[in-house]
Structure 1
Amino acid sequence: MPRPPPGMEADPVARPFWLTRLLVRTGVARFLPSARRLTDGHPHAVRYFSDKVLAAPADELLDPAYLPGPLPPDVLDLNLPAPRTDSPVGPGRPTPDRRGTPPPWGTPDLKNALADHYVRRDGRDVDPEHELFVTHGATAAYAAALDAFVNPGDRVVLFDPCSPLFDLGAKSRRARVRRVPTWNDDGRCRFLERDFERAVRGAKLLVLADPANPTGACFAPEDLEYLLWIAAGSDALVYADESFGRFRYDGRGKSLGALPGAEKRVLTAGSVTPGWGLGSVRVGWLAGPRPLVRACALTASLSAPYVPTVCQQAAAQAVAEADTDFAPTLARFRDRRRYVIDRLRGLGLEPEWPAGGYFVWLPVSSLGLDGRVFAERLLRERRVLVGPGCAFGPSGAGHVRLSFAADDGRLREGLSRLAAFVAELRNPGAPPPPAEPAEPTELAQPAFSRV
């Protein structure tokens, strides 16, 4: 995970945005390192940039720790954000009535399938015509919510650690981000009530993911009720990303959008990328109160309308799949979770137990390295990619994120290389550890096989 090259380091002192605009108008900005970085070495062009571009968190967006680029073929990717699938689900041949421009808010087939999905999973009635709209993935759903409700200076509350996109999206709208520290208590996401109440007071938007990324911790039903109660007391809106909701290993849990009072302020987002392994179609959605969904759909129509019909057809087929068809996949991932945790503990490490998703949050500071250096050296010396914890918030500095969404052979080999790397850190020059013992579980079938 290389650092930004020389000349792309951040300016040593953060500037208020009004000063940035003044520097641009006076022409002084073109002499600053940040202008060279933002314009890829052509600082004279900065005078054309909009406030949205000038406010973009360029340091993070250009840092491969946050947004990794293409990998060489010899690198084993243990940072996969979603499973890869050999699923036969596909768009099929579009019928004559589906060959034109799709409806801007989504095709009726997909929206009806999503409404049925909410009924099956949560017992929640969602009006597919007015309380749902389809987006270009969950990232576009979040962007639509930010554009609809967040103005510069508004407070957005995040749990720490969380997805880098939550923080980057809020910063790009010049929001004031407040973080609530959390910890993983055997799969349950915990936080201090006083920290949360202080952060939400005066906030415009509370953002969370359940299950959480990167920890895999889940909120208990009583914690969700408490979050909603406090948010209502502060008149804050709530954005709940449930993209990993299908991957709950220790019980179904409860959706925030199904709780009493959610009909006034809760937006729930999902995606077929993490939940169904269909990253290539890039289909997400947003569900919630009619006026809030309408506002989000209007902002999305200005920036990213019309999700392709063929992608929506594939998503509709996947979402309509019976829950019983997914049970074998969930069981295989449950076995993978145990397998990965056992191997890491066998190395003397202390991974946190994920109750959902397919990530393991792994502390590495006991090895004398922070998360970024650990990830950089593991990539350089053993050709294995993991996610540096610094991308997920301040509390992640001593962690890395490891994904067990990789295929079985790459997962085993990647863990073996990681074991050799850890052994070398502890005993430089010592012989590598013995080969991996026989797998404790059967991991032969591809994830999401629907054959």
Structure 2
Amino acid sequence: MLKENRKMAEDWIAPRVREIAPSGIRAFFDLTAGNNDIISLGVGEPDFATPEHVRAACVRALNRGETMYTPNAGLLELREEIAQYLGSSFGLQYHPADEIMVTVGSSEALDLALRAFTAPGDEIIIPSPSYIAYSPIAHLNGGTLVEVEATAEQGFKLTAEALRKAISPRSKLLVVNFPNNPTGAVMSYEDWLPIAEVVKEHNLLVLSDEIYAELTYDSTHVSIASLPGMQERTIVISGFSKAFAMTGWRVGYVCGNHELLAAMLKIHQYTAMCAPVLGQIAAIESLRSGLPDKDRMKACFRQRRTLFVEGLRTIGLHCHQPQGAFYAFPSIAHTGLKSEEFALRLLREAGVAAVPGHVFGSGGEGHIRCSYSTSTERLTEALERMEGFMKVRI
């Protein structure tokens, strides 16, 4: 009976859903669940609680009974704050009324964009390594993924030469994520200039995932949308999860040409309808009064980056210097182990959970991703365990 039920379920599940693999990050996270002896460097989530004044603002709103739906595009008050923030922080200018939409986290914004702009057979170009969600969402919408390797020798940056080689008559969308997950790479204005020229030459639409924009440590974040002629052909996605320590509130946003956003809004209004109202209220408070909190947390991440990356190098794991986000992406190629085998052995033999690089695309093999969004004490202990593992087991 069990086999029969399983066969029925397989028949009902859409082929494209059957074909995608479960999240490689979540798989390692699940292995650590309930085991306090394991130090998890796997999940990309700040270890800070949402600041108290943000939580207090939501408690007051809850006591006032503010528990209803908001407009599909989100509270206009929040969209106005986002517009002001993007203008003052990154030089991006958007009209709050029709060029900004609030979403259920940046993840929903990504899904909406790929659904709205991908037709079966369209090619979606993605630098590799990259965030694991791009590929399966593209696949679900019938798109064909084309990876462009961003190598460690080039600082894990996208180059115009590599992009040009990947373009075909079916190319439609370029997905970029800088600061990058998993490498921590960033792109400067000068880096973006030749990319922008190739994009315009081939009439590509750009989806720019900038969820880590605020966590740029040694320079100022530059959005590709800020380059001449790029804003009208770029969809910018961001949110409050990472820099504002609001992962569980599920508030993201997307900005772009009003006609493109109108297409995304069609899907949003039939699926999520609107982002949670209390999350939107929390986001308003964060933008109005929480910027010092953001800067304080960023300073902590910068200190942890220095500690952890130097520690990795000391124990024999070469590591590119991450310029943003909160991930280190050390090379394990010299060990002779594939990334999955290395990560599994590190977990079982040293009690340290890291994510194997291959889950981030073909360009990630030979590396592991370690999140330094945890305390210095835990990071120091993780390094000690990793050093013992390298000495004894490798």
Per the normalisation by structure 1, the TM-score is 0.80
- The CA distance in 1 between the partners of 2:283 and 2:255, in whole Å, is 16
Residue in 2 that maps onto 1:384 = 352
Counterpart pick for 1:93 among 60, 68, 76 = 60
Which residue in the other structure is 1:238 paired with?
206
1:197 aligned residue = 164
Aligned to 2:44: 81
Distance 2:7 2:223 in 1: 47
* Partners of 2:91 and 2:35 in 1: CA distance: 45
- 1:116 to partner: Cα distance: 1.3
1: distance between equivalents of 2:6 and 2:295? 53
Equivalences for residues 19-30 of structure 1 within 5 A: none
- Is the contact made by 1:206 and 1:239 (CA closer than 8 Å) also made in structure 2? yes
**Higher share in helix:** 2
Q: 1:60 aligned to 12, 21, 30, which one?
A: 21
SS of alignment partner, residue 56 of structure 1: helix
SS in 1 for 2:303: helix
Aligned equivalents of 1:68, 1:43: Cα separation in 2: 29
**Inter-partner Cα distance in structure 2 for 1:174 and 1:199:** 19
Q: Where do 1:376-415 residues align within 5 Å?
A: 376-415=344-383
The answer to whether the aligner puts 1:139 opposite 2:107 as a matched pair is yes
Distance 1:231 1:66 in 2: 36
> Compared with structure 1, are the counterparts of its residues 271 and 62 closer, same or farther at alpha carbon in structure 2 (3 Å cutoff)?
closer
State the partner residue of 2:74: 106
- Mean alpha-carbon deviation: is it higher for 124-133 or for 217-226? 217-226
8 Å contact 2:20–2:136 — kept in the other structure?
no
CA distance in 1, matches of 2:325, 2:135: 20
Within a 5 Å distance, the mapping from 1:121-270 to structure 2 comes to: 121-184=89-152, 188-202=155-169, 203-270=171-238
Map 1:290-439 onto structure 2 (within 5 A).
Answer: 290-321=258-289, 323-426=291-394
Q: Distance in 1 between matches of 2:390 and 2:253?
A: 41
RMSD (Å) for aligned C-alpha atoms: 2.1
Structure-2 separation of matches of 1:374 and 1:230: 38
Partner of 2:9: 45
Q: How many residues of Structure 1 are paired with residues of Structure 2 in the alignment?
A: 384
Structure 1: give runs of 5+ residues left out of the alignment: 1-35, 427-451
State how 1:1-40 maps to structure 2 within 5 Å: none
Give, in angstroms, the shift of residue 326 of structure 1.
Answer: 3.3
SS, match of residue 61 in structure 1: coil
TM-score, normalization by structure 2: 0.91
How far off is 1:268 after superposition? 0.5
Q: Deviations over 1:386-435 (max 9, x none)?
A: 01101001121211000100123222222221121111124xxxxxxxxx
The equivalent of 1:285 in structure 2 is 253
The ranges of structure 1 where at least 4 consecutive aligned residues each deviate by more than 4 angstroms after the TM superposition are 62-67, 322-325
Looking at structure 1, the residues matched to 291 and 23 of structure 2 have their Cα atoms a distance apart, in angstroms, of 40
Q: Judge conservation of contact 2:150–2:157 (CA < 8 Å) in 1.
A: yes
Letter in 2 for 1:386: A
Shift of 1:344: 0.8
- Greater CA radius of gyration, 1 or 2? 1
> Is the 2:47–2:374 Cα contact (8 Å) retained in structure 1?
yes
Match of 2:33 in 1: 71
CA distance in 2, matches of 1:329, 1:63: 27
Stretch moving more, 336-345 or 154-163: 336-345
Amino acid at match of 2:322: P
Cα distance change, pair 238–59 in 1 and its aligned pair in 2 (3 A): closer
Structure 1 counterpart of 2:327, which letter?
F
Shift, 1:238, TM fit: 0.3
Which amino acid letter does the alignment assign opposite residue 220 of structure 1?
S
C-alpha distance in structure 2 between counterparts of 1:57 and 1:215, whole Å: 29
Structure 2 unaligned blocks of 5 or more: none
Asked whether the equivalents of residues 189 and 219 of structure 1 are also in contact (C-alpha less than 8 Å), the reply is no
Amino acid across the alignment from 2:195: L
- Judge which range, 251-260 or 112-121, deviates more: 251-260
Sequence identity percentage: 26
